[in-house]
Amino acid sequence: MLTNVEHIGIAVRDIAASNDLFTKLLNVAPYKAEVVAAEGVMTSFFRVNQTKIELLEATSPDSPIAKFLEKKGEGIHHIAFEVDDIEGEIERLKNEGFTVLNEVPKRGADNKLVCFLHPKGTNGVLIELCQEIKE
């Protein structure tokens, strides 16, 4: 079950400049930065109350974020929803006719297991499902 919007991901060309911009905009510094090598991305997270914003900069020219920036430029990349049972949600959404881009959850940023739904089936918006990794 989807429990809430976990974060909004924004693709940026220069994460340092974007960190400065969002620090001024939100009046708060990022609380975390992390490289997800498997996805070729550097992330930076901001929190305002319960809302999180994730900035994403490509670390390699063939990463999904680099391809997104090449096609669409900077802007909203995805909306992430928190779930209690990511594997159960993947099955439920597949049964509802959604195209799941990775049927096996993978480790993402911010200590999450993640999977994505194809934007062609979600009105052009890439949807991410996130489940906290409990270690």
Question: Residue 37: how many CB atoms within 10 A of its CB?
Answer: 10
Residue-range domains of the chain with CATH: 2-132 (3.10.180.10)
> What amino acid is encoded at 55 in this protein?
L
pLDDT in tens, 29-40: 999 999 999 899
Sheet containing strand 75-83, edge to edge, reads: 32-36, 41-48, 51-58, 2-11, 75-83, 126-132, 112-117, 106-108
The pLDDT of residue 16 is 98
Using the predicted structure, report yes or no on whether residue 135 has a pLDDT greater than 80: no
